[in-house]
């Protein structure tokens, strides 16, 4: 007997709410564990609200879109480390769209990678990390610092 899935609400750091199928977000072990904890406390997920305080809404939206696509098109069982040749066309388009959305799109790719790592979505993390690594492969240290907006040491000293 198949258990029907429920809709849960995920809330980003900036208060944006996303209603999503519980099975779609189980790609993330963090979401999956939070859902299990909620189920232990309540019989259903009707009022389940999962706060993700480390991720902004625009980034969480991309991650949820990723989860929903892979749930609807492939299930939740194929999310391990991948080789370059294995990158799904949809995944590649997601990354390219992030990069083209605004002038500093690579910053969003970095934020998605950080959030994917935090939420334990290894395939998404690897796709983002590989894309960024390919971009900076030929950069010198100064260009990498500018690319990722890393503060210079003297700027960091002034902050402390």
pLDDT at 16: 97
- pLDDT tens column, 66-120: 999 999 987 544 555 556 566 788 888 898 888 887 666 788 999 999 999 999 9
CB 57 within 8 A of CB 109: no
Percent of the chain with pLDDT over 70: 81
Residues 31 and 119: their CA atoms lie apart, in Å, by: 7
- How is residue 70 written in tokens? 């892979």
What is the dihedral sign for C-alpha 78, 3, 61, 53?
A: negative
1 has pLDDT over 90 = no
């Amino acid at each position: 007997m198949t258990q029907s899935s429920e809709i849960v609400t995920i809330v980003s750091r900036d208060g944006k709410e996303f209603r999503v199928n519980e099975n779609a977000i189980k790609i993330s072990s963090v979401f999956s564990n939070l859902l299990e904890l909620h189920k232990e406390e309540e019989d259903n997920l009707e009022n389940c609200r999962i706060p993700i305080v480390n991720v902004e809404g625009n980034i969480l939206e991309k991650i949820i879109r990723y989860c929903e696509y892979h749930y609807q098109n492939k299930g939740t069982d194929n999310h391990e480390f991948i080789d370059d040749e294995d990158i799904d066309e949809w995944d590649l388009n997601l990354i390219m769209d992030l990069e083209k959305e605004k002038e500093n799109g690579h910053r969003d790719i970095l934020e998605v990678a950080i959030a994917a790592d935090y939420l334990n979505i290894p395939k998404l993390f690897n796709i983002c990390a590989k894309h960024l690594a390919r971009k900076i492969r030929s950069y010198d240290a100064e260009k990498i610092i500018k690319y990722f907006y890393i503060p210079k040491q003297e700027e960091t000293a002034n902050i402390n």
